[in-house]
Amino acid sequence: MAEPQEIEDEEYEQVLERVAAIDVAKASGKVCVRVPHESKPGRRVSRVQDVDATTRAVIELGDHLVCQGVEKVTVESTSDYWRIWFYLLEAAGLDVQLVNAREARNVPGRPKSDKLDAVWLAKLTERGMLRPSFVPPAEIRQLRDYTRLRTDLVQERTRHWARLEKLLLRHEALLLPDGGERPSISPAVVAAG
């Protein structure tokens, strides 16, 4: 008989000991922490709590999760509400993954309340059954923020130039009642003027 070939599990296939999951809402989140039971070997315990979606509360949660030795945190993407949770927990040094709410719902057996939903997400996290969404690294997110801000500022500047030109043309019409030809107004002339 041939020697059996050993195939090791991939990292994503390994069961995690200590996980957390957050069912995100606008003003708060249901946080479930799943860890081994202290007095019953082989058993697990889930602790669910409400945490406000404020900077202070999320930073305190991050410190608590680090102290608990949490290996992975799953945040369910809901509108833009996930951002404060993801960014602050990531800054606390935790391994955070964002999962699409639609994907978590597609797994059979999903419960219907926020509390049970958080527990369900934690169970799926510890078994590696969720595919994380791509979230760019912090440096890329910062660059995107600067780029978007610059784009917004350029659009605002263009809008103000158009309003200023319209205002000047309206007043110029009052100054040139004979219908004389109006010169084109460039931003450089207005800025110098």
> Any idea what the Cα angle at residue 74 is, between residues 82 and 60, rounded to 5°?
70
Contact of 4 with 93, CB cutoff 8 Å:
no
Which carries the bigger pLDDT value, residue 31 or residue 2? Answer: 31
Domain spanning 15-135: which superfamily?
Answer: Ribonuclease H-like superfamily/Ribonuclease H (3.30.420.10)
Q: What is the pLDDT of residues 97-114, one digit of tens each?
A: 999 877 666 656 655 677
pTM above 0.85, yes or no: no
Contact of 141 with 149, CB cutoff 8 Å:
no
What are the two backbone dihedrals, phi and then psi, of residue 31, each rounded to the nearest 5 degrees? -110, 125
Q: So what's the pLDDT on residue 152?
A: 94
pLDDT band at 171 (very low <50, low <70, confident <90, very high): confident
